[in-house]
Amino acid sequence: MKTRIARVLAALGTSACLSGALAPAHATEYSLTDLGLLGSGWSNTYATGINASGQVVGYAFNDGTNGTSFSDQYQAFVTGADGHGMAAIPTLGGSWNKATGINDNGWVVGTSATTTSTPGGDTRGFAMEGAGAAPRSLGTLAGPSTANGISADGRIVGAYTSPASTQRAYLTDANGGAMHDIGTLGGSSSTAHGVNQAGQVVGSAEYRSYTSVDTPRERAFMTGRAGDVMMPIAVAGYDMTDRDTNSVAYAINEEGTVVGRSSAFVGDAGRAFIAGRDGIGRVLNLHDMGTFEMPGPWQLTSQALGLNRLGQVVGSYYFTSNMMSHAFISGANGFGLVDVNTLSFTNLAAGARDWMFFDATGINDSGQFITNGSNGHAYLVTPVPEPAAVLMMACGLGWLVWRRRASING
């Protein structure tokens, strides 16, 4: 009987712990953490990645806006837990670097110039194996390389420049090991943006080769495990085989769900999409936000830049009537989009902000996400737990204490 009760409590406790660990589809309130600036020499900060501890990576810059420097000068940074304590990451010998991803072990990846002899410099993807470690070059399979994402076990993805001067996607072994070309979709180029622990890679690739008078088109892809079998992603209602459409996949979670951007016609800047592990996707419903009227599809563009295990998606949309980019966050499985600018922040008075959150670039499994402001600052947004979530976490903790005491007492 005692064993049976213990099993029931174990199930309830596990459920409570899991429920507490994952954020609800939408919290009612959030707290806002300004990541600040990287010392007095920098005037702008842009966040690109976040891990389970709320560590944030990105880069600082000066003369530019919305994450872009006019002089191509950047300085990579990483913070401590919950966005506190920003520290610069050394370059690989060049004049600039950018951090683009971080995993739950605190490994940071990005791209760095390796020389100061030319304005752009030769570049290499880099990995930094935790706080205080020196960044190391990932090398290349030919010319300059970049690093765009990292998995839980340290597999890294990005692109390198081939001898034919085209971009080619790569995947490394675990812990930033050997680099492997993962191919294309029949054309000459590809770029990888995200990877999960199973080694599934997402990005974009030239869909097929064209004659010199045609413009190459990129199509979003996902691979099987360990980067094998590149498969194009299909978005419902969009003819992705049409030479006049483009798409790109930016992120993949541990469930194999993918997000990105897909265009439908010539001149279309694209719509945010979410796709399942079968490679079949749908466009996110921006009408969910209900804050404006959209008279035609040409009025609105969007892109999905990150997601967590629940399928909460973050990204940006651009509405031509006010000529502004807005950050958004969704509920589970990409439903119920909300403009980040309409959220309620417990530590920010109403009307205290005269700038916009223009994009959101990453989100962790507890619902913390990063967003960038038009004022040149990057922010960490943390859901304030609702009473029900607090109760579930307390129940889970209580069960763990009871179980430990029971095991000690025999």
The pLDDT tens digits for 306-345 are 999 999 999 999 875 567 899 999 999 999 999 999 999 9
368 and 51 in contact (C-beta within 8 Å)? no
- Compute the CA torsion angle 163, 164, 169, 173 (nearest 10 deg): -20
Pure H helices in 191-332: none
Give the pLDDT score at 211: 45
Query: Quick check: 404 pLDDT over 50?
Result: no
Type of residue at 75: Q
Average pLDDT of the segment spanning 49-59: 98
Query: Quick check: 274 pLDDT over 60?
Result: yes
Take residue 376 and report the two structure tokens written for it. Answer: 């040149």
**φ/ψ (deg, to 5) at 45:** -135, 135
Average pLDDT of the segment spanning 190-215: 82
DSSP strand pairing (56-61 vs 258-262)? unpaired
Task: Give the tens place of pLDDT for each residue, 74-89.
Answer: 999 999 999 999 999 9
56 and 370 in contact (C-beta within 8 Å)? yes
How do the domains of the chain map onto residue ranges? 1-24+392-410
| Bridge partners, 195 (sequence order) | 201
Give the pLDDT score at 8: 37
Nearest to 10 by CA among 404, 365, 410: 404
Kindly write down the DSSP assignment for every residue of 74-103, as one continuous string: -EEEE--GGG-S-EE---SSSS-EEEEEE-
123 and 140 in contact (C-beta within 8 Å)? no
